[in-house]
Amino acid sequence: EAGVAQSPRYKIIEKRQSVAFWCNPISGHATLYWYQQILGQGPKLLIQFQNNGVVDDSQLPKDRFSAERLKGVDSTLKIQPAKLEDSAVYLCASSLEGGGAQETQYFGPGTRLLVL
């Protein structure tokens, strides 16, 4: 079974530029998460999708971050414009279905973003 795929693996941009990350969850997984992991910290949830609907985006900086999951499968996370403090690893995770924590969240390898 293929895992969660993410691209690119690494990205270096200058501040005020735009960047987009892509995530392909495990086939059949209805729930998709984007986490931000700043160096030295644990991952922090940015947004959670259930199929193509947003369940939780309370910690997403909506003035610069946006995310979509149009067909309930792949998802993109965009930052525009980027700030220095956005340097982090962006992790995508997916789980099978809603309804409880008995379902494991499977994580992708992450995209490491460096903003100069």
Partner 1 sequence: AQTVTQSQPEMSVQEAETVTLSCTYDTSENNYYLFWYKQPPSRQMILVIRQEAYKQQNATENRFSVNFQKAAKSFSLKISDSQLGDTAMYFCAFMKPSSPTFGNEKLTFGTGTRLTIIP
Give, as ranges, the residues between 56 and 95 that touch partner 1 (CB under 8 A).
Answer: 56, 89, 91, 93, 95
The 3-state secondary structure of the chain reads CCCCEEECCEEEECCCCCEEEEEECCCCCCEEEEEEECCCCCCEEEEEEECCEEEECCCCCCCCEEEECCCCCCEEEEECCCCHHHCEEEEEEEECCCCCCCCCCEECCCEEEEEC
Which one of 7, 66, 87, 105 is in contact with partner 1 (CB under 8 A)? 105
Annotate each residue in 20-49 with x if it binds partner 1 (CB under 8 A) or - if it does not, as one string.
Answer: ----------xx-x------xxxxxx--x-
Cβ closest to partner 1, residue 95 vs residue 115: 95
Residue (80 or 114) nearer to partner 1, CB? 114
Beta carbon nearer to partner 1, 20 or 96: 96
